Structure 1
Amino acid sequence: MNLPNKITIARILLIPIFMVLMLVPFSFGSWNVNGNSLPYAHLAGGILFILAAATDWLDGYIARKYKLVSNFGKFLDPLADKLLVTAALLSLIEIAVLPAWMAIVILSREFAVTGMRLVAASDGQVIAASGLAKWKTVFQMAALAVLLFHNVPFEAWNVPLGMIFMWIAVFLTIISGIDYFVKNKHIFRHSM
């Protein structure tokens, strides 16, 4: 197994640790900033999420630079990303920081696009990530990171930055999902 695949597997193995930090009611105390409180376990969970998300860039960089791209990696890397995002979304719903409908929109689009990619792959076609989808990912990851910290670092400015980023991510999720299906509608015509 090559290094990028090991990094991807490490990302998957970090997910249960992240979820324990976010969902088990530890009593380690809290970080207080301007009257707002962030449990230390959630601070650690947020940092772990950022590190895990960064491994997505790292494994891809190493795979491309050293020509270590593999079919296993092409399958595992997007799966790891979806598992990490799903864990973060579900954790934020459970701790009452994110409305469930936003998570449902994001996850529904992910399942739909993944399904379309599987249909395309069965015909030997590859659907690359669009520019809109890349921006969706940027805002989604930024929103998740800020919300995992309960927006505490930004409360001093009285700006709900996490929810602003999440609204942008949801908008880009919908638009990029529509874009994928419009641009690739031929895939479904040929597979029916």
Structure 2
Amino acid sequence: MTDPAVRASIPPVPVVNAANAITTLRLFLVPVFVLMVTASEMTDRDWRIAACVTFGVASLTDFIDGWIARRYGLVTAFGKVADPIADKALTGSALVLLSWYDLLPWWVTAAILVREIGVTLLRFWVIRYGVIAASRGGKIKTTLQILAITWYLWPFTSGLADVGPWIMAAAVIATVVTGLDYTVRALRLRSAP
């Protein structure tokens, strides 16, 4: 526990900071990305490339804002809430659109979204007992999902496009395994004395 005098001398972290600005940018890029995919109807090569690049930039901001927040002590309540919302909005909209245009089975989208929502609910369920930090497996899962979605978005020729389902299969496995891991960790945290 931090001494109250020490806590009082630490200035509060301003909500308007570089990390939160990048998170906000990601939130604004989500509808831009959705419009680009919709404009492409996943058939127009140029719009698909634009959508893929937008998704890639937005995904990259996820790694950058977290690093900046931790590195420079810019972690805020806004960032803790907005960051996962931005992540799920971006990934969720991409998966739904890929399924909508018959490029990805709906069960894959459902499995990933159920896991993402479930882990978020688990975190709220145990918040009084502690924080479930992102695991290495969770970071691998995120990377695989981003790679798989990017692969589906880019207008590859048929030979290279066939790699996408394999990457997505690895992403789904990582998604399910890490979801189970978070569940076990949440149950342990709740039952700890």
Which segments of structure 1 move beyond 4 Å, counting only runs of 4 or more? 187-190
Q: Which amino acid aligns with 1:138?
A: T
What TM-score results when the alignment is normalised by the length of structure 1?
A: 0.85
Within 5 A, what are the aligned runs for 1:33-44? 39-44=45-50
Following superposition, the deviation at residue 24 of structure 1 comes to 2.7
What is the distance in 1 between the residues matched to 2:97 and 2:103? 9
Following superposition, the deviation at residue 10 of structure 1 comes to 0.8
Residue 169 (1) aligns with residue 171 (2)? yes
- Contact 1:38–1:149 (8 Å) recurs in 2: no
What is the distance in 2 between the residues matched to 1:124 and 1:12? 30
Within the candidate set 72, 81, 93, 1:66 is matched to 72
What TM-score results when the alignment is normalised by the length of structure 2?
A: 0.84
What is the distance in 2 between the residues matched to 1:53 and 1:158? 22
What is the distance in 1 between the residues matched to 2:161 and 2:104? 16
Within the candidate set 19, 38, 62, 1:56 is matched to 62
Residue 105 (1) aligns with residue 111 (2)? yes
Q: Hey, what does 2:9 align to over in structure 1?
A: none
RMSD: 2.0
What is the distance in 1 between the residues matched to 2:63 and 2:40? 31
Unaligned runs of 5+ in 1: 31-36
Following superposition, the deviation at residue 184 of structure 1 comes to 2.3
Identity %: 36
Within the candidate set 4, 8, 18, 2:33 is matched to 18
Task: Count the aligned residue pairs.
Answer: 177
Following superposition, the deviation at residue 4 of structure 1 comes to 0.8
Unaligned runs of 5+ in 2: 1-15
